[in-house]
Homo-oligomer: A and B are copies of this chain.
Amino acid sequence: MTLDDVAHAAGVSPITVSRALRGERAVAPELVERVRAAALKLGYVPDPAARALASRRSTHVAVLIPMLSNALFVDMVEAIQRRLRPAGYQTLIGITHYDANEEEQLLREHLLHRPAGLLVTGLERTPATRALIANSGVPCVHLMETSTDPGVHSVGFGQADAAAAMTRHLLERGRRRIAFAAAQLDARTLQRLSGWRAALTQAGLYDPVLEWRNPAPSSLALGALLFEQIAAHRPAVDAVFFCNDDLAQGALLAAMRLRIAVPRKVAIAGFNDLTGNDQMLPPLTSVRTPRAEIGSAGADMLLTLMQGGRPPSHTVDLGFELVVRAST
């Protein structure tokens, strides 16, 4: 079942079938109709390999994310697939493990397959990776952060702004010694840290000892550990803002074990508003981040670029939302 069969059935040349099916204009509407009908009747489906070889472009979209074990990226990936699949694109997921060199290696591998598009996480990468993307000529959209560079397409939200907003919320609640606990220490975590720092500085309450960093991956256990350390070393701290919800949830459990009253003695806030926050004791205050929307809008922008179009804007800021629960 090939183009020729459809051409035969429709009484046109194969190339006309090719054009009609791809929706190229410059084909008479009635011919398009005839071809479509024939293709449908024969159950014809174009061969992706032949198409890729001839056009030097596949229908694959490579999606590079740091981790799948962070629910954040799962939500984003699912939203991406929901958009890309109906449009006829296959998603290839590459996991970088927050490692710029692994990302570079992954990208090299994926580029060999001539992907139709690229979806990458964040803006920070090795110069070589940046060059690979630029030289490949493959459309690329950056997710999770917003770029000011008009040559870079991005969909995200202001990580620092979101963290600053949460910090101000804690200040409004009367907290004065607000610690920030960070894990992983990837670019976005550090942006959140800077947002927190800016808000505290503005309030005249910034103190470097309030900054707790740990490069290990975010987890309940690490959140518990960080909370225990903060409670032991800085008893005056009256709020802890964690860069991710799993840390905050772990802290809530640790507080219970240590019999430290939340939020009476210390307020606890998280980030991302992952599932389960409403089940915590007390329910966890967090920042809802629009990861699914980022996936959808990022895929839409990429779709536009892959079709040769130009998106209305090179960057889209999808914002965030404070979700205040009983923990603060």
Contacts and interface: CB of A to CB of B under 8 A. Distances in A.
A93 B65 CA distance: 14
Nearest to A56: B49
A92 B91 contact: yes
A114 B48 CA distance: 9
A125 interface: no
Interface stretch (A69-77, A229-237, A313-321): A69-77
A53 interface: yes
A205 to B, nearest CB: 31
Contacts of A77: 68
A99 interface: no
Contacts of A221: 275-276, 278-279
Please tell me the size bucket of the interface on A. 35 or more
A220 interface: yes
A280 B254 CA distance: 9
A45 interface: yes
B68 A58 contact: no
A219 interface: yes
A133 to B, nearest CB: 18
